[in-house]
């Protein structure tokens, strides 16, 4: 097979040597436009996982790289005059030039044809069976065939400059400096015996305000030396970008995502690899990792397919695109964290450092404990204000109410009422979950009138009989658990008059005569061509609905609920006023966000005036519509601020379900960033929701200041005692924030012993894996 690799960076060189090693008969050339000794950048970082894969692919190259590595375990965070340190992170750094030299020498040893100063513009004229486009971030091949590759390039908000220093950092160091213009941060790590990488970064607005754009290169470096003088200990900063002038060395990171990675030019497939195909922000150190793993994967797939590119290339793209997406999602989280230092800096230094360590969501609370248990113990004790307690089991106080822990049972529709009346089912459902250890249990969205229901099976609070039924349930919860119980009041709006979920979610009722008329902010049909159409509310409608919410509030107080929430999310009635997708009104309730909020705020203020002053009241909002032209996360901050000004104590932060055209980005804890954005910009307590399914998730979210409470939905359907079970899973026996029903206490030791046995087995497996790695197995 004849192979041409355009680009002599890590991806092109490593793929070339792997293919030559696989079959010495392959004719392989690497075409690099620069000289052999040219390089841009300083040190690069690898993970143990990447090294393991490299050992399996080519042990000799891996050992040479390993011998040249600088190892460190600790991360140091400098913020507001404090230094916080944690260990066990296991980083490895190597100079980019050293890495290239090792790969170049190995290529020559195996017989790869390295052609330097070959400025190949594209694939034209290359006589090959396979062409690898590893021509980097600014790939000319990708640009030429953009119609095929369909790249999406997102320039991020920060400017950064990649420098070096003779200061040898013994830990991976993050240094944050507040200036009159805003925050600057440095990422520094040692990569050989004489030099460290030193990256300086700041949001574009801060960079511009500081005047760096008008500075010469030398002036910009001197600015950084003064700013980070303390951490540099008098050492100078060095640039190796001799080809750049002025502020051109300060760039914005481009996040590259390509829909396709293969172009067929009629002769040979042209395959993207490394930064040409994808990028991951330097703050998680995965750019070179991804490039080398691309090379390993494609070489392996070609070998397993016995050279059949028709089989190998689709396998390569299928496997690598999933892994790359996972890393890019983590990199996006990390990037956005560094873009918003001003928000995070409002946290205390201890919590700021924890938030930094867990910013990508790849490192969790229990993962940190495995790395450095002493650090986690110190942090937990600081957070709890005394003895170390897992964050999810710390108490939370709002107005006159104190929750024993941070776990919330989400309001989950059960569709099990008749004429809006809750009965024995709801007593069982809510009572079981209250006994299961959660701090707060929400009843499902409860409707303020018969025509406010989503389905005929939804509960209501529009009659005295319903009020009495709820009072019985609330009394049971209070008498048989230490949990608090909340009610969420709402009106379905255009999403009403539908079947129960298991009969066809969002589908109109089968018997048309049973349907009831629908109202919303503007005329709407939630399911185009299928749903019943709603009409726009008149002022008389608004007055009636407002009165219904007020009457339900009075009944909720009379029933003894501890907490009241107003539902303004998910496309229901009040949400339909807030979202520009569903509010097309031309009166004072439409147009600007201020106008669109007018009616929901009217309802909230009226309810707050009737709800007992000592009890909390929250609002659930959709923080993002996931549709072009809909509500965004920045809008959500303004929405939350408006409700805070009206007297809201907490924002329950969800997203979506406003339009069937939505395209959410799902994943673990996928809506938590919206909660963090609101909590730390608005200064109001929040509930995080969405794919929170483990104690580790809750602990990480609470500890990092991303939310004050975590709502857990489906896991609580599967296991009413989820909180008690998760406490045993992580080895927490209480008593703080945790109490077992006396009737169930006999099960506690057995459950704890079983999870203790599982943790011991997992620990033995991890120890065995570590031993094998140490032996090179």
Tokens of 270: 């042209």
Q: What six digits make up the tokens of 697?
A: 């998730």
Pairing type for strands 113-116 and 27-32 reads: parallel
Provide the pairing of β-strand 685-688 with 70-72.
Answer: unpaired
Sign of CA dihedral 319, 325, 326, 327: positive
Q: Which tokens belong to 673?
A: 């960033």
Q: In what helix (H) or strand (E) does residue 306 lie, and over which residues does it extend?
A: none
E strands in 505-636: 518-520, 534-536, 563-568, 617-622
Torsion angles phi and psi, residue 466, rounded to 5: -65, -40
Q: What is the 3-state secondary structure (H, E, C) of 425-450?
A: HHHHHHHHHHHCCCCEEEEEEEECCH
In this structure, which long-range contacts are made by residues 136-139, counting pairs with CB atoms below 8 Å and at least 24 apart in sequence?
136/7, 136/9, 136/274, 136/275, 136/276, 137/254, 137/256, 137/275, 137/276, 137/279, 139/272, 139/275, 139/276
Q: How many CA atoms lie within 13 A of 701 on its CB side?
A: 35
Give me the torsion for CA of 607, 610, 614, 620, rounded to 10°. Answer: -10
526 touches 657 (CB < 8 A):
no
CA–CA dist 624, 633 (Å, integer): 6
Separation CA 35–CA 16 (nearest Å): 18
Residues 6+ apart with CB under 8 A from 201: 158, 159, 160, 184, 185, 186, 187, 338
**What number of CA atoms fall less than 13 Å from residue 551's CA on the CB side?**
16
Provide the token pair at 581. Answer: 């997708």
Give catalytic residue positions: 572
Alpha helices of 228-340 — where are they, by DSSP H?
229-232, 287-304, 309-339
Between the alpha carbon of residue 246 and those of residues 134, 201, 212, 224, 446, the distances in Å are 29, 16, 9, 14, 62
**Sign of torsion over alpha carbons 80, 347, 180, 206:** positive
């Amino acid at each position: 097979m004849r192979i041409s690799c355009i680009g002599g960076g890590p991806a092109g060189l490593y793929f070339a040597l792997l293919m030559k090693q696989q079959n010495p008969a392959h004719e392989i050339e690497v075409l690099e436009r620069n000289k052999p000794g040219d390089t841009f950048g300083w040190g690069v970082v690898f993970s143990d996982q990447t090294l393991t894969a490299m050992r399996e692919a080519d042990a000799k190259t891996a050992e040479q790289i390993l011998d040249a590595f600088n190892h460190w375990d600790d991360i140091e965070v400098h913020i507001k005059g404090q230094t916080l340190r944690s260990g066990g992170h296991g980083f490895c750094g190597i100079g980019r030039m050293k890495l290239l030299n090792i790969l170049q020498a190995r290529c020559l040893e195996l017989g790869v044809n390295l052609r330097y100063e070959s400025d190949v513009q594209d694939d034209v004229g290359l006589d090959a069976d396979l062409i690898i486009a590893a021509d980097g971030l600014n790939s000319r091949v990708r640009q030429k065939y953009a119609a095929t590759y369909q790249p999406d390039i997102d320039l991020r908000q920060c400017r950064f400059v990649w420098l070096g220093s003779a200061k040898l950092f013994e830990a991976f160091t993050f240094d944050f400096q507040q200036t009159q213009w805003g925050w600057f941060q440095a990422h520094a790590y040692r990569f050989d015996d004489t030099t460290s990488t030193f990256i300086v970064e700041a949001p574009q607005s801060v960079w511009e305000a500081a005047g760096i754009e008008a500075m010469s290169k030398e002036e910009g470096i001197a600015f950084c030396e003064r700013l980070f003088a303390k951490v540099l200990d008098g050492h100078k900063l060095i640039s190796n970008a001799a080809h750049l002038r002025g502020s051109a060395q300060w760039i914005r990171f481009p996040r590259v995502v390509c829909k396709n990675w293969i172009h067929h030019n009629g002769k040979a497939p042209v395959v993207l690899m490394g930064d040409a195909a994808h990028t991951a922000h330097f703050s998680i150190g995965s750019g070179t990792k991804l490039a080398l793993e691309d090379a390993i994967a494609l070489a392996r797939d070609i070998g397993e397919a016995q050279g059949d590119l028709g089989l190998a290339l689709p396998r390569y793209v299928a496997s690598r695109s999933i892994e790359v997406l996972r890393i890019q999602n983590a990199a996006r989280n990390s990037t956005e964290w560094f873009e918003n230092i001003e928000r995070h800096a409002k946290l205390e230094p201890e919590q700021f450092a924890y938030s930094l360590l867990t910013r990508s969501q790849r490192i969790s609370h229990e993962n940190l404990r495995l790395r450095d248990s002493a650090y986690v113990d110190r942090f937990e004790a600081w957070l709890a204000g005394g003895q170390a307690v897992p964050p999810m089991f710390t108490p939370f106080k709002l107005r006159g109410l104190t929750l024993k822990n941070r776990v919330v049972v989400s309001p989950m529709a059960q569709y099990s009422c008749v004429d809006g009346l809750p009965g024995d089912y709801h007593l069982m459902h809510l009572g079981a979950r209250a006994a299961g250890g959660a701090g707060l249990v929400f009843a499902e969205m409860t409707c303020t009138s018969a025509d406010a229901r989503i389905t005929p099976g939804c509960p209501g609070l529009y009659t005295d009989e319903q009020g009495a039924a709820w009072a019985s349930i609330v009394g049971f919860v209070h008498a048989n658990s230490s949990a608090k119980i909340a009610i969420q009041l709402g009106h379905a709006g255009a999403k009403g008059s539908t079947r129960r979920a298991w009969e066809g979610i969002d589908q109109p009722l089968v018997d048309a005569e049973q349907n009831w008329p629908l109202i919303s902010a503007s005329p709407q049909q939630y399911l185009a061509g299928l749903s019943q159409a709603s009409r726009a509310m008149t002022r008389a409608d608004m007055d009636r609905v407002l009165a219904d919410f007020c009457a339900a509030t009075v009944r909720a107080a009379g029933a003894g609920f501890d907490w009241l929430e107003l539902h303004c999310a998910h496309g229901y009635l009040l949400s339909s006023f807030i979202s520009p997708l569903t509010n097309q009104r031309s009166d004072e309730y439409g147009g600007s966000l201020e106008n669109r909020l007018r009616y929901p705020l009217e309802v909230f203020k009226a309810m707050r005036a009737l709800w007992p002053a000592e009890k909390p009241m929250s609002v659930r909002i959709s923080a993002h519509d996931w549709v072009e032209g809909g509500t965004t996360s920045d809008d959500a901050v303004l929405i939350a601020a408006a409700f805070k000004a009206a007297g809201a104590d907490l924002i329950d932060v969800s997203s979506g379900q406003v339009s069937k055209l939505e395209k959410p980005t799902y994943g673990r804890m996928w809506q938590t960033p919206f909660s963090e954005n609101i909590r730390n910009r608005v200064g109001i307590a929040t509930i995080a929701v969405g794919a929170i399914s483990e104690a580790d998730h809750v602990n990480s979210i609470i500890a990092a200041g991303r939310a004050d409470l975590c709502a857990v939905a489906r896991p609580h359907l599967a296991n009413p005692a989820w909180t008690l079970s998760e406490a045993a899973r992580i080895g927490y026996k209480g008593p703080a924030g945790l109490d077992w029903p006396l009737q169930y206490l006999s099960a506690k030791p057995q459950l704890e012993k079983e999870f203790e046995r599982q943790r011991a087995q997992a620990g033995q497996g991890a120890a065995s894996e570590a031993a094998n790695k140490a032996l090179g197995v």
